[in-house]
Amino acid sequence: MTDSPMLEQERGARVAWARLSEPEDATMWEWVATHGHVEALRRVRRGALGAGRLVVERSRLFDLEAELSAADRLGARIVVPGDDEWPGGLDDLARPPHCLWVRGAGSLASLMARSVSIVGSRAATAYGLDVATGMGHGLGSRGFTVVSGAAYGIDAAAHRGAIAADAPTVAVLACSVDRDYPVAHRSLLARIRADGCVVSEMPPGSAPLAKRFLSRNRLIAALTRGTVVVEAGFRSGSLNTARCAEQLGRPVGAVPGPVTSMVSAGCHKIVRDAFASLVTDAAEVAELVGDLGADLAPDRHVADADEGWSSTDKAVHGWVPFRSPVSVDELVRRTDLAPLVLLAALGRLETAGAVRRAGFGWQKVPPAKAPASSYAQAVLPADGLG
Amino acid sequence: MTDSPMLEQERGARVAWARLSEPEDATMWEWVATHGHVEALRRVRRGALGAGRLVVERSRLFDLEAELSAADRLGARIVVPGDDEWPGGLDDLARPPHCLWVRGAGSLASLMARSVSIVGSRAATAYGLDVATGMGHGLGSRGFTVVSGAAYGIDAAAHRGAIAADAPTVAVLACSVDRDYPVAHRSLLARIRADGCVVSEMPPGSAPLAKRFLSRNRLIAALTRGTVVVEAGFRSGSLNTARCAEQLGRPVGAVPGPVTSMVSAGCHKIVRDAFASLVTDAAEVAELVGDLGADLAPDRHVADADEGWSSTDKAVHGWVPFRSPVSVDELVRRTDLAPLVLLAALGRLETAGAVRRAGFGWQKVPPAKAPASSYAQAVLPADGLG
């Protein structure tokens, strides 16, 4: 790093505070807000500010060199305010993270310039997973960075949708970035790091404790230009993310579902409470967060791939998978359309280059490669990577 | 009928206009608005007002006695403004019906004092039918008269739900009340007439022409205190009903569904367009139309029968029929609950007086008979029945 000595000192103090305190710790944030990170740390080391014995001891033992080389070994950058990669959205938080650990090829600040979080229940339904994948894909195709929490269910589906669109995606973790959590998502997290990044405010070695998920949710809300909840029960943590987003003045969308589905009940509730807009597809989400985005990044104005399609064509397209081809019989079953209607739609979609025959079945044709990053590189200043 | 001579003359002229013109006919409504029904008819008979030859001829041939005895043979009342049974909501229309033909045991004006329309697609899904039946039942149980169009799909399900709650329901037809349309709903229509009524502005012998459905929709909207759309495609006629309701200042609700369902797309659209509120159950609909209702009729404020019940108890109660008792085995199958959970729920419902043992099965205990009409009779002036 080639920081000025002042930024270097500030960075060190921030890393120390990340070590010494849990996210959003009220007492420590008061010290830091009053004295600044550097001076507050100096005072605590002197045993001032009424800090507890343990904190004082740990503040004296804190080893910045060890932290920096731990990050280096992980291939993680430690990002602080003032760095090019620091995402400005975090400054809207009352208690922002002291610093971030970031792993992955993408530059966080540029990725966040056109970003949306897609969150939802771990215990998602097949319907919810389908919608989340489709939205992740649709928003990725439109040049949005999809941000989520890499959890089971909706989170993973949203990341996977974006990846299927060859768009970078960002996972914000409740544990530190050296942990693959959940373990079953080890390869998903590796794939996310390949084009996007994995982010945490927790220093290496931190476990995903329950209260850290709530703190993590505020980061997801603050990092992005808007938040969409795909499926959420009444007590889902993703409603907490949505509430954070709303308090930060970011638009919130919620996907409807059957009124008989418990995991759509939270979505319906936040629409009824009038703080979320009902959204049914990626285009509507883009419109929703685009309003705010106008002053953050000029609108890419590429026509939606599905512009001019009939609603039948859109529905059929939605049911054709990317990876394993699906038979016409199965599509008839899924769409509940008459076979002739279905075949006509497939024909139009094939002509439009949106689906193709594969053996005895049909599959989607992936859209053109990586519009998001080429867009970001064209419009935004180049970012240093730490 | 014991009308004053003036009302009798007015009634006769209104019936004539119903015969001479299609609903909402602009030219004839201008004549009637300018001169009144009686004088406009007199002038047309004289060949004045620039009426076409055919209209003049038919106005001269019009036979009031024949119309009145045709209605009598049907057991239909001809209701005009000034009659106790005339529903005041219709007066909000720019072009209200000249008169109504009403068949059935219920008094239309009292039934409309606490009423809600439930409308939707003919090509409904199993999900939509389920929701419509549940809402019809829930609103019927809460003392609302469920109004719909007796069509296939959502309409019929809503009527049937209300009937299952032993609540009167009202069908408004696009054809005349002497026709059972659709024919497959002959017995449904008979059942509707038994406690509620079947209504039309078309004189006997009128076929259900396409444009008459649009005119019929305005009646459904104007008659009721609010309209709920359960399932509707983008071009569904029920969106037209919803728009009428909104223009009349009546609250509109829409039931969400899967975003992949074409027949939920219209519901989602009107929520997004912010003229409909998202509603997921009968209680939310009651709350929605209750707001406006406060100044139409004092709120009945009887605690909902199911207040304080657990959701399991409510679900079990929903599955116990009124008429033929159902076995515990069958209830286990229907509710998918563990037998012990089910039996506990039945026990609580029995204690609450909501269900009772009948032979080897269980059935609902009917609520205090006809809450809507007894309420209406208490609060509203007594209605003549024609």
Pick A335 or B222 by higher pLDDT. Answer: B222
Asked if B278 lies within 8 A of A256 by C-beta distance, the reply is: yes
Which of chain A's residues have a Cβ under 8 Å away from the Cβ of B260? 127, 130-131, 315, 318-319
pLDDT at B301 (0 to 100): 32
Structure tokens at A206: 């931190």
Domain that holds residue B343: 311-364
CB contact under 8 A, B268 and A277: no
Q: With respect to residue B184, please indicate whether it lies within any of the assigned structural domains.
A: yes
Query: Looking at residue A342, what is its pLDDT?
Result: 80
Q: Provide the pLDDT confidence category of residue B271 given band limits of 50, 70 and 90.
A: very high
CATH of the domain at A143: 3.40.50.450
Residue B225: name the closest of B138, B301, B147, B280 by CA. Answer: B147
Give a yes or no: residue B333 inside a domain: yes
In this model, does residue B383 exceed pLDDT 70?
A: no
- Between B230 and A361, the higher pLDDT residue: B230
Residues B237 and B355 in one domain: no
Residue in B127, B234, B271 closest to A278 by CB: B271
Do A259 and A126 reside in the same domain of the chain? yes
Partner-chain contact A311 B255, CB within 8 Å: no
B378: confidence class by pLDDT, cuts 50, 70, 90: very low
Query: Considering only CB atoms, which chain A residues are within 8 Å of B287?
Result: none
Q: Containing H/E element for B332?
A: helix B328-335
pLDDT, averaged per 10 consecutive residues of chain A (386 residues), comes to: 72 96 94 96 94 94 95 97 96 96 97 97 96 97 96 97 97 97 96 97 96 97 98 95 96 97 96 95 93 38 54 75 75 72 82 82 64 32 32
CB contact under 8 A, B272 and A277: yes
Q: Given B261, B293, B325, which residue is the final one in a domain?
A: B293
Burial class, A89, CB count within 10 angstroms (exposed 0-12 / middle 13-18 / buried 19+): buried
Question: Domains in chain A: how many in total?
Answer: 3
Hey, is the C-beta of A265 within 8 angstroms of any chain B C-beta? yes
Boundary residue ending a domain (B40, B62, B84): B62
Residues of B in contact with A277 (CB under 8 A): 272
Rounded to a whole number of angstroms, the distance from the CA of B251 to the nearest CA of chain A is: 14
**pLDDT of amino acid A371:** 35
Position A381 in a domain: no
Task: Give the confidence band of B74 by pLDDT, cuts at 50, 70, 90.
Answer: very high
Weakest-pLDDT range from B19-28, B67-76, B292-301, B341-350:
B292-301
Q: Are residues A117 and A177 in the same domain?
A: yes
Note whether B235 and B284 are same-domain residues: yes
Residue A87 resides in a domain = no
* Whole-number pLDDT of residue A345: 83
Same domain, A335 and A280: no
Q: Is B152 on the interface with A (CB under 8 A)?
A: no
- Pairing state of beta strands B115-119 and B145-148? parallel
**Distance (Å) from the C-alpha of residue A265 to the closest C-alpha of chain B?**
9
List the CATH number of the domain containing A341: 1.10.10.10
Contact (Cβ atoms closer than 8 angstroms) between residue B138 and residue B167: no
| Mean pLDDT lowest among A85-89, A171-175, B2-6, B164-168 | B2-6
Q: How far is B17 from B59, CA to CA, in rounded Å?
A: 8
Distance of CA A286 to the CA centre of its chain: 15
Confidence label for B279 from pLDDT (cuts 50, 70 and 90): very high
Q: pTM value?
A: 0.74
pLDDT score for B341? 77
Q: In this structure, what are the phi and psi dihedrals at residue B133, rounded to the nearest 5 degrees?
A: -65, -45
B277 and B194 in a common domain: yes
ipTM above threshold 0.90 = no
Alpha-carbon distances, residue B228 vs A172, B116, B271 (angstroms): 41, 7, 11
Residue B47 phi/psi, 5-degree rounding, is 80, 15
Confidence band, pLDDT 50/70/90 cuts, at residue B118? very high
Burial class (CB within 10 angstroms; exposed 0-12, middle 13-18, buried 19+) of A247: middle
Q: Which pLDDT belongs to residue B223?
A: 98
Q: What is the model's pLDDT at position A267? A: 98
Using the predicted structure, report yes or no on whether residue B14 has a pLDDT greater than 80: yes
* pLDDT at site A64: 94
In a domain, B263, yes or no: yes
Distance CA A203, CA A385 (A): 19
Q: Same domain, yes or no, for B35 and B131? A: no
CA distance A296 to A110: 11
B6 and B155 share one domain:
no
Q: Is A274 on the interface with B (CB under 8 A)?
A: no
pLDDT at A155 (0 to 100): 98
- Residue B175: per-residue pLDDT: 98
In terms of domains, do B176 and B122 share one?
yes
Position A123 in a domain:
yes
Whether residue B374 has pLDDT greater than 50: no
Q: Taking residues B99-116, report their average pLDDT.
A: 97
Flag whether A129 is in a domain.
yes
Q: What does the alpha-carbon distance between residue A338 and residue B329 come to, in Å, rounded to a whole number?
A: 37
For chain B, the average pLDDT equals: 87
pLDDT on residue A365: 79
- In angstroms, the CA A52 to CA A55 distance is 5
**In the prediction, which pLDDT does A193 show?**
98
Residue B207 sits in the same domain as residue B337: no
**Interface touch B260/A130, C-beta < 8 Å:** yes
Rounded average pLDDT over B278-301? 68
CB under 8 Å to B73, separation ≥6 — which residues? Answer: none
Q: Does residue A202 form part of some domain?
A: yes
Same domain, A266 and A184: yes
Assess contact for B299 and B144: CB atoms under 8 A.
no
Please tell me whether residues B2 and B43 are part of one structural domain. yes
